[in-house]
């Protein structure tokens, strides 16, 4: 651990993104420190997903800066950005996007296999993560054979298995009933806290804010800290 008082991991400033005549981002600023859990809230269509995609380097902003660990994302080559996403970022989307042909365990092991981890070791780590998310029993099933909540737990395990510095989660429990959703959210945040992973968590659920360190509200393409100060 270093004790730099404010180790900003990722910062974005003055992001603009236009889709036709729609201004999805209109001068959005954002910052997250190492290990911090930030909930991003705001009405539908306000720009939350667009912000997340720009922060993660999935979508290039029209203008503005995104800096991750001192490096400007838009300035990286496609290969460098892909490597960053593979090695340092984890993603969970609203519908887990698991690979249907693979078992749950193989899905979780996939990021490790892509990073060159030998099969046995990758499988062992995948099993550990499935157990941590309380779904060890479905390891051998395919995503089509498990419930929505179980699938999202597998997706969370897959996003965290390679120990990312940064997790991006866009409504990761949006498809679940609120009890199940809250449980998965709690597991996600506690697993991220154990591994020191910073989390940007887009959610409609106000209760989720209780698990976060900070809340940011996006309105009309601009992001604001709810409490005012960071």
Ligand X SMILES: Nc1ncnc2c1ncn2[C@@H]1O[C@H](COP(=O)(O)OP(=O)(O)OP(=O)(O)O)[C@@H](O)[C@H]1O
Which phi and psi (to 5°) does residue 176 adopt? -105, 155
In the region spanning residues 123 to 142, those forming contacts with Mg ion, defined by CB under 5 A, are none
CA torsion sign for 129, 193, 174, 181 is positive
Q: Which two tokens stand for residue 127?
A: 């099993």
Are the C-beta atoms of residues 109 and 126 closer than 8 Å to each other? yes
3-state secondary structure (DSSP) of residue 93: coil
Q: Which residue's structure tokens are 């892909």?
A: 82
For residue 2, CA distances in Å to 79, 85, 212 come to 30, 24, 22
Stretch that binds ligand X, among 5-13, 19-27, 66-74, 102-110 (CB under 6 A): 19-27
The binder of Mg ion chosen from 31, 33, 46, 49 (CB under 5 A): 49
Residues in contact with ligand X, shown as a per-residue x/- string from 89 to 128 under the rule CB under 6 A: ----------------------------------------
Stretch that binds Mg ion, among 15-23, 49-57, 122-130, 159-167 (CB under 5 A): 49-57
Binding-site partner at residue 24 among Mg ion, ligand X, none, CB < 5 to 8 Å by type: ligand X
CB of 8 to ligand X, least distance (A): 23
Q: Which residues of 196-217 are buried (b: 16+ CB within 10 A; e: fewer)?
A: ebbbbbbbebeebeebbbbbbb
3-state secondary structure (DSSP) of residue 194: helix
Residues in contact with ligand X, shown as a per-residue x/- string from 42 to 81 under the rule CB under 6 A: x-xxxxxxx-------------------------------
CB of 24 to Mg ion, least distance (A): 10
CB of 222 to Mg ion, least distance (A): 16
Which residues of the chain form contacts with ligand X (CB under 6 A)? 19, 22, 24, 42, 44-50
Which residues of the chain form contacts with Mg ion (CB under 5 A)? 49
């Amino acid at each position: 651990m270093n004790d730099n008082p404010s180790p900003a991991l990722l910062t974005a400033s003055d992001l603009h993104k236009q889709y036709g005549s729609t201004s999805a981002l209109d001068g959005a600023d954002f910052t997250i420190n190492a290990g911090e859990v930030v909930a991003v809230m705001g009405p539908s269509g306000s720009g939350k997903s667009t912000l997340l995609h720009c922060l993660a380097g999935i979508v290039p902003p029209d203008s503005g800066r995104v800096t991750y660990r001192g490096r400007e994302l838009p300035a990286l080559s496609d290969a460098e950005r892909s490597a960053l996403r593979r090695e340092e970022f984890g993603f969970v989307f609203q519908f887990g996007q698991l690979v249907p042909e693979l078992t749950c365990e193989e899905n979780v092991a996939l990021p490790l296999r892509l990073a060159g981890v030998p099969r046995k070791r990758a499988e062992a780590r995948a099993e550990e993560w499935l157990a941590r998310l309380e779904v060890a029993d479905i390891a051998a099933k395919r995503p089509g054979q498990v419930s929505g909540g179980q699938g999202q737990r597998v997706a969370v395990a897959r996003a965290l298995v390679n120990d990312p510095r940064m997790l991006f989660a866009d409504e990761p429990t949006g498809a679940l009933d609120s009890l199940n959703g809250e449980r998965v959210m709690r597991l996600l945040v506690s697993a991220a806290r154990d591994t020191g992973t910073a989390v940007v968590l887009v959610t409609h659920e106000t209760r989720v804010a209780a698990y976060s360190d900070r809340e940011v509200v996006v309105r009309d393409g601009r992001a604001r800290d709810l409490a005012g100060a960071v």
